């Protein structure tokens, strides 16, 4: 039987590749976007052309409770119960700590932490009722060890890890798994603002000597959503080329 996965921030990058992976594995996928309606719609049209009724583009700013509720309502109405939730939507910002504004701080936590909170709250009642479900939250290696000039991002991604571990304990008795993926440097638009020499330096520092691709993260997410990981919960899986050990 086909299942449904909802992937937030799936208009591009890691989220899009993750949605594609789940779709290839036979899932129906809800492709969430915030501003990129065009790319998300185009992606979903192509998936539906190849397998009618297999994908839905669903707009919502994950930091807005009403929009999150409507996203889950539409997804469940059109694709069925959400059995896998991937909290991938996120923003990043590089700035000296002393230059950070209160707005920078609030925006980071509103999208990267509150967004995950709201989506989990929307997904869990159904999962608890069915006594089945998997949640995968996307953190970052900077949430594990911290990064200079990314204090608010590191703090938010660290919160994602602690949130994952706490929620995993709370909903484990309902047979729901909550895990986390903490990627290293992945070649996406998120890193587009970094100068080429900074990307080269990160590649050189990475023991495997390459930048990660969105598919490297998508495979890790898939593993944590697949039956092969049924006894794994509250864990952090780190596709990072060995940069953070
Ligand atoms: P990306 O290319 O910048 O894509 C970000 C996605 O998040 C877009 O689809 C964007 O949608 C969506 N998004 C942003 N704000 C949103 C909001 N308020 N509501 C709903 N969607 C929103 O980033 P990426 O590199 O694929 O990163 C994906 C996740 O991996 C993020 O959580 C990021 O922190 C994490 N990560 C990335 C790296 C890396 O090196 N790239 C490393 C570690 C962790 P719209 O365009 O529609 O607004």
Q: Which residue has the tokens 């080429």?
A: 196
Which atom of ligand 1 is nearest the CA belonging to 89?
7
A 10 A CB-CB count for 21 gives: 21
Which atom of ligand 1 is nearest the CA belonging to 185?
40
Q: Whose CA is nearest to atom 41 of ligand 1?
A: 186
Q: Note if 33 is an active site residue.
A: no
| Host H or E run for residue 29 | strand 28-33
Q: What is the pLDDT of residue 193?
A: 84
Whole-angstrom Cα distance, residue 115 to residue 107? 11
pTM of the full predicted structure?
Answer: 0.98
Q: What is the pLDDT of residue 27?
A: 98
Residue ranges of the chain whose pLDDT lies below 70: 1
Describe the strand order of the beta sheet including 4-7 as a list of residue ranges: 55-59, 28-33, 4-7, 82-87, 133-138, 176-181, 236-237
Q: Is 128 exposed, middle or buried (0-12, 13-18, 19+ CB in 10 A)?
A: middle
The CA 15 to ligand 1 mean position distance, Å, reads 7
Q: What is the pLDDT of residue 82?
A: 98
239 Cβ below 6 A of ligand 1: no
93 Cβ below 6 A of ligand 1: no
Q: What is the pLDDT of residue 130?
A: 97
188 Cβ below 6 A of ligand 1: yes
Q: Is 230 exposed, middle or buried (0-12, 13-18, 19+ CB in 10 A)?
A: exposed
Whole-angstrom Cα distance, residue 207 to residue 121? 38
Which atom of ligand 1 is nearest the CA belonging to 16?
9
Q: What is the pLDDT of residue 1?
A: 57
Catalytic residue (one of 153, 177, 217, 243): 153
137 Cβ below 6 A of ligand 1: no
CA distances from 81 to 54, 77, 132 (A): 13, 8, 11
Q: What is the pLDDT of residue 2?
A: 79
186 Cβ below 6 A of ligand 1: yes
Q: What is the pLDDT of residue 33?
A: 98
Specify the 3-state DSSP secondary structure of 182.
coil
The one-character DSSP state at 211 is: -
Q: Which two tokens stand for residue 137?
A: 């939250």
């Amino acid at each position: 039987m086909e299942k449904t996965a909802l992937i937030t921030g799936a208009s591009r990058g890691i989220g899009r590749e993750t949605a594609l992976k789940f779709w290839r594995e036979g899932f129906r996928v809800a492709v969430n976007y915030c501003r990129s309606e065009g790319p998300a719609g185009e992606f979903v049209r192509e998936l539906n052309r190849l397998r009618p009724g297999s994908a839905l583009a669903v707009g919502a700013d994950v930091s807005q409770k009403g929009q999150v509720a409507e996203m889950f309502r539409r997804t469940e109405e059109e694709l069925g119960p959400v059995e896998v939730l991937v909290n991938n939507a996120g923003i990043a910002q590089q700035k000296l700590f002393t230059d950070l504004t209160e707005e920078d701080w609030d925006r980071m936590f509103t999208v990267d932490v509150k967004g995950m909170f709201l989506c989990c709250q929307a997904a869990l009642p159904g999962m608890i009722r069915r006594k089945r479900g998997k949640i995968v939250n996307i953190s970052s290696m900077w949430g594990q060890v911290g990064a200079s000039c990314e204090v608010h991002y590191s703090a938010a991604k660290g919160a994602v890890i602690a949130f994952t571990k706490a929620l995993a304990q709370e909903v484990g008795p309902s047979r729901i798994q909550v895990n986390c993926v903490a990627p290293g440097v992945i070649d996406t638009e998120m890193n587009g603002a970094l100068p080429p020499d900074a990307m080269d330096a990160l590649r050189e520092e990475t023991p495997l000597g390459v930048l990660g691709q969105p598919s490297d993260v998508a495979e890790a997410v898939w593993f944590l959503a697949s039956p092969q990981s049924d006894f794994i919960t509250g864990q952090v899986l780190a596709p990072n080329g060995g940069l953070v050990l």
